[in-house]
Structure 1
Amino acid sequence: MTAALISEPADGPDGHLLRRTTAERFAHWVKSGAADLPLPGSGATMRRLSMLHDLGRDDLSLARLAEGHSDARAILHELGAPAPAPGERWGVWAAQPPGTVLSARHDSRAGWRLDGVKAFCSGAHSCTHALVTAETEDGHRLFTVATDDARCSPVAGSWRAVGMAGSDTPDVRFSDVPAQPVGDVDAYLRRPGFSHGGVGVAACWLGGARGVADSLLRAARRREPDQLLSAHLGTVDVLLYGAQCVLGKAAEEIDAEPLEEGERAAVLASRARAVVADVCARVLDEVGRALGAGPLCHDAEHAQRVADLTVYIRQHHAERDLAVLGTLLAEADEGALGAEGWRDE
């Protein structure tokens, strides 16, 4: 499907250009060897998060594709499947919103086949392979697919986003597409790395927030001294510093207990994601109040960063995710609110 990125009718000239540019940068990133990020829990998780953060600061759409590829590498490693071959570009297509269903059926002669629609498939035109979750008679399973199959096709017009336009995240229709299972039923969700991967996404968000904040820092350095602008800048600095500390603490905990799973791993990831998502929203607000409409109207790069971050942090489901965290804490047999690791042992 890679060639289709060039010839596909554009939803709009700007969106088409962003998709094409991001796809080219993604391909270069993989080919250069930069995609070999440390695996979560390998002892270098902070380096992994830092690399994802830096990608987000540069380009959130590129970071989205890079995070998906690096997450796919980690999932394949954790579930004992072969690693991506050199030059392959992988995505993880595991969203399950209402209204779209992807089913997998097994035939003794033809093997596993996928039918239906999968929503939010980032890199639909630029990924060579994908890890895809699908419903089976026994429950949800994870499969690998090669996206160059003509029966695996993006649904035209299903990704009209302004923010994250370059991430190329349309629905994809599968029609009798051959697939290979990875792990057992629900193995994708049960593995420890499921929560670790969520922290990696938060690192991308934080990088995007720092990219937005860079505009504020540049403005403060070139303008006449302005106490209100300085107050906004100081607030943003404190917010970013706090979120970075939270991710650093999460990386330490992941490396200390790389096989931690279940509720403890979910609480760790939920806390980190919630803190970072809140910081990103507050940074967007602070920078907008400090700089006004000017850069949103006249600085295309800044406006795109703001739009990208606004969309990407909606991958955090706000009060719904906080409710899940609260339920986990209420049902736990031990542990205090926000106090893990605080006491001096």
Structure 2
Amino acid sequence: MTQLHDDLASASSRRAAAVAAARLIAASARRTQQELDVDGAFPAAEVRALAEHGLLAAPLPVRWGGAGLLERDGSKALALVLSAIGAGSLPLGRLYEGHVNAIGLILAYGRIEQQEMFAAKSREGHLFAVWNTQREPGVRLAAQGAGWRLQGAKIFASGAGFVRYPLITARTEAGDLLMVIPDAANARVDLSQWRAHGMRASASGAVDFSDLGVGDDSIIGGPDDFHRQPMFSTGAWRFAAVQYGAVASLFDLARAHLVKADRAGDPHQLARLGAAAIAVETARLWVFEAATRSHGSGDPAASVAYVNLARLAVERAGLEALELAHRSVGLAAFLRPHPIERLSRDLATYLRQPAPDEALCEAANFLVTSPRPIAEIWENEDAPD
């Protein structure tokens, strides 16, 4: 067998192992979600399990000990991993999706020595994150000697106090937006402002990086690489995959409740279950197609438009599934400790991703300005099988 075949076989087996591990960890996370449903909680045991089963390293190329989940032919496996974890725990899925996002940015824009350094930290069990949200004036970078000094804070940072090497955005005195990976061990963390009714186990909060020094080895890429298309938009399919997993889990919980209550045979309940099944499958189809389209080698604008539509389609499917589950189960779905009550709060919160109207309008504008019939716009895109 040639080296190429050896590498392909290794990647395939590692991806299968990653999917199996994700499902195992999701089953464990599902059992601990109720006790973690408190402000400031963090799924530490589950994150350790992600490290122990190789999932923190799985987005890396095979040559660096990963499974190549971020590569073109790894997209289906990554979609399965993300949706499996999302089905078990949305907070855990949010944290893992952020880790994958950070690794992807490092691999795309980092220098080879930076890629190798942070790949080693990932293999060591470090969880990464991408923290971009901030209040003005945000995080700034001031030149200091041979390096830089940070000033300012990020908000709504998931994994605050637990992520040692977050990828954050910061603006220089000249106005350039750069990606920075500081050592956050000495950053000041405040979890008191995260009082959302859902996603309580994500340890989300404000992180103040003021007076932390960083060197050039912590600067990833160049000015405004963070917003560079198509990567900035096409990566959105990954959080949609986590959401899809939760939508599917919601269906399973509602069905189990109706069966246990001997109400599943009612024609009205059957109609709602049928409609919910359509919503679940709609989300799945969009997610897996968007995963492959995000690696398409055709028109990048077409890929961005498709993923933008996918994230909105999954949001709509999630909202519909929530309404149908609540109608079917009734008041019990709003009473703790029913698992639908917690999952509903987590899903409703996580579905609120930034700039949905902008994403929809950008996709629609692409369609308006395209001279081709809509049936032909994506059918000839060079997306992997």
Q: TM-score range by the shorter chain?
A: 0.7 to 0.9
Range 75-84 or range 168-177, more displaced: 75-84
Kindly report the root-mean-square deviation, in angstroms, between the aligned alpha carbons of the 2 structures. 2.5
Give the TM-score of the pair, scaled to structure 1.
0.86
Matches of 1:32 and 1:95, distance apart in 2:
30
2:219 pairs with 1:219: no
Say if 1:327 and 1:171 are closer, same or farther in 2 by CA, change over 3 A. farther
Q: 2:320 aligns with which of 272, 276, 282?
A: 282
Q: Report 1 or 2 for greater relative contact order, CA contacts < 8 Å, sequence distance ≥ 6.
A: 1
2:63 pairs with 1:25: no
Helix, strand or coil for the counterpart of 1:105?
A: strand
Q: How far apart are 1:256 and its partner, in Å? A: 3.6
Aligned to 1:303: 341
Matches of 2:319 and 2:37, distance apart in 1:
25
Say if 1:145 and 1:160 are closer, same or farther in 2 by CA, change over 3 A. same
Say if 1:318 and 1:71 are closer, same or farther in 2 by CA, change over 3 A. closer
8 Å CA contact retained: 2:251, 2:276:
yes
Matches of 2:95 and 2:37, distance apart in 1:
19
1:26-105 paired onto structure 2 within 5 Å = 26-35=47-56, 36-37=58-59, 38-80=68-110, 81-82=114-115, 83-84=118-119, 85=121, 86-96=124-134, 98-99=135-136, 101-105=138-142
Helix, strand or coil for the counterpart of 2:129?
A: strand
Matches of 1:162 and 1:316, distance apart in 2:
18
Helix, strand or coil for the counterpart of 1:176?
A: coil
Aligned to 1:108: 145
Q: 2:282 aligns with which of 242, 254, 257?
A: 242
8 Å CA contact retained: 1:39, 1:74:
no
Name stretches of at least 5 consecutive residues in structure 2 with no aligned partner: 1-35, 60-67
Matches of 2:137 and 2:341, distance apart in 1:
32
Say if 1:291 and 1:326 are closer, same or farther in 2 by CA, change over 3 A. same
**Residues 7-64 of structure 1, C-alpha deviation per residue, up to 9 Å, x if partnerless?**
xxxxxx9524x713x1331232123212314433421201101110111110000000
1:155-194 paired onto structure 2 within 5 Å = 155-179=190-214, 180-190=218-228, 192-194=230-232
**Residues 175-219 of structure 1, C-alpha deviation per residue, up to 9 Å, x if partnerless?**
111232100001121154322321101001111111221111112
2:177 pairs with 1:140: yes
Aligned-residue sequence identity (percent) comes to 23
2:153 partner letter: V
Q: Which structure shows the bigger proportion of residues in helix conformation?
A: 2
Aligned to 1:4: none
1:303-342 paired onto structure 2 within 5 Å = 303-330=341-368, 332-337=369-374, 339-342=376-379
Aligned to 1:7: none
Say if 1:107 and 1:207 are closer, same or farther in 2 by CA, change over 3 A. same
Equivalent residues, number: 325
Give the TM-score of the pair, scaled to structure 2.
0.78
